[in-house]
């Protein structure tokens, strides 16, 4: 990214559970890095997983943003505005255009009826009802990624994600496609993600490179920060899919916002006093020579 390029980033939560500590830390990191660069921040809510969407989860996203004291420049003002004017369902034609173009590339897309627990491995026609579309990654494919946090990285995509889903069995675009299309529409050029999504980043870069109209989503134009993950007491990464029905998310934590700010300060290797408030974190990031942590 050139020095005179305006930074554009986004918060991209999914309303599939109450936001946990890791989500809140990612929000604050993204906000700090974007504001430090004088950039523009979007709120982009990924709601294509309709089976897990709940009104309470959607409302929680806006409540956590307000609770943290961060802001954004573009996006929905609340749940109703989101559903009316910003839902991913409004962009299905855009996703479908890219899916059709990908399907036209020789040997790239195959349809499969297999599930996570088994099923038929043999490819079926793309028109088969209930079949997912998968992008075939050639064996040995490596994606070089200049990760601003982790350093120069090479992701063995062919080994990690040899045939990832691009269209789900319900005929709706999967995350890897929708995320690329959304980021291109927003003009995103700074993406802050957890380290567990580094393989997804590689998949998106590789997939975008298959089409001329999406090829601008590349590691020369987009800067990626893949930060370390936060874990629970058992050492497992925090996940909304592991939440119990009684879980209320990060806002119910005993330490409140201090737990979020402390985790951010530690990740950025800032002095302990920076965790006192969002303002102190921002001052610490702006006054310290920021070098991407290891």
Q: Where do we find the tokens 């802050």?
A: 192
Cα 50–chain centre separation:
17
Kindly tell me if the per-residue pLDDT of 288 is higher than 70.
no
**Digit-coded pLDDT (tens) for 145-160:** 999 999 999 999 999 9
Kindly tell me if the per-residue pLDDT of 294 is higher than 50.
no
Query: In this predicted structure, what is the pLDDT of residue 292?
Result: 44
Quick one: what percent of the chain has pLDDT higher than 90? 82
More confident residue, 118 or 255: 255
Kindly tell me if the per-residue pLDDT of 119 is higher than 90.
no
Query: In this predicted structure, what is the pLDDT of residue 178?
Result: 98
Kindly tell me if the per-residue pLDDT of 46 is higher than 80.
yes
Q: What is the mean pLDDT of residues 102-111?
A: 97
Kindly tell me if the per-residue pLDDT of 198 is higher than 90.
yes
Question: Cα separation of 256 and 253, whole Å?
Answer: 5
Q: What's phi and psi for 239, nearest 5 deg?
A: -150, 135
248 — pLDDT class (breaks 50, 70, 90): confident
* Contact of 40 with 34, CB cutoff 8 Å: yes
Kindly tell me if the per-residue pLDDT of 132 is higher than 70.
yes
Q: What is the mean pLDDT of residues 24-51?
A: 97
Q: Which residues pair with 164 in a beta bridge?
A: 135
Question: Cα separation of 189 and 183, whole Å?
Answer: 8
């Amino acid at each position: 990214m050139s020095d005179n390029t305006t930074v554009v980033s986004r918060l991209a939560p999914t309303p599939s559970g109450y936001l946990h500590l890791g989500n809140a830390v990612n929000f604050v990191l993204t906000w700090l890095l974007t504001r430090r660069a004088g950039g523009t921040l979007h709120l982009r809510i990924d709601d294509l997983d309709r089976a897990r969407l709940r009104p309470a989860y959607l409302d929680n996203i806006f409540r956590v943003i307000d609770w943290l004291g961060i802001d954004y420049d573009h996006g929905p003002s609340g749940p109703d505005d989101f559903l009316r004017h910003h839902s991913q369902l409004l962009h299905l034609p855009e996703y479908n255009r890219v899916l059709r173009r990908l399907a036209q590339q020789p040997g790239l897309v195959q349809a499969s009826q297999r599930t996570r627990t088994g099923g038929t491995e043999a490819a079926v026609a793309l028109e088969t009802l209930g079949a997912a579309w998968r992008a075939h990654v050639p064996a040995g494919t490596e994606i070089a990624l200049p990760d601003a946090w982790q350093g120069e990285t090479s992701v063995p995509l062919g080994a990690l994600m040899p045939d990832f889903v691009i269209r789900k069995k319900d005929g709706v675009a999967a995350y890897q496609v929708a995320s690329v299309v959304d980021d291109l529409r927003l003009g995103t050029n700074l993406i802050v993600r957890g380290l567990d999504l580094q393989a997804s980043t590689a998949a998106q870069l590789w997939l975008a490179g298959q089409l001329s109209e999406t090829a601008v989503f590349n590691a020369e134009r987009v800067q990626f920060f893949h930060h370390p993950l936060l874990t629970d007491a058992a050492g497992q990464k925090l996940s909304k899919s592991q939440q119990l029905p009684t879980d209320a998310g990060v806002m119910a934590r005993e330490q409140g916002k201090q737990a979020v700010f402390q985790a951010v300060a530690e990740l950025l290797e800032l002095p302990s006093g920076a965790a006192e408030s969002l303002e102190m974190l921002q001052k610490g990031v702006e006054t310290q020579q920021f070098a991407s942590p290891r």
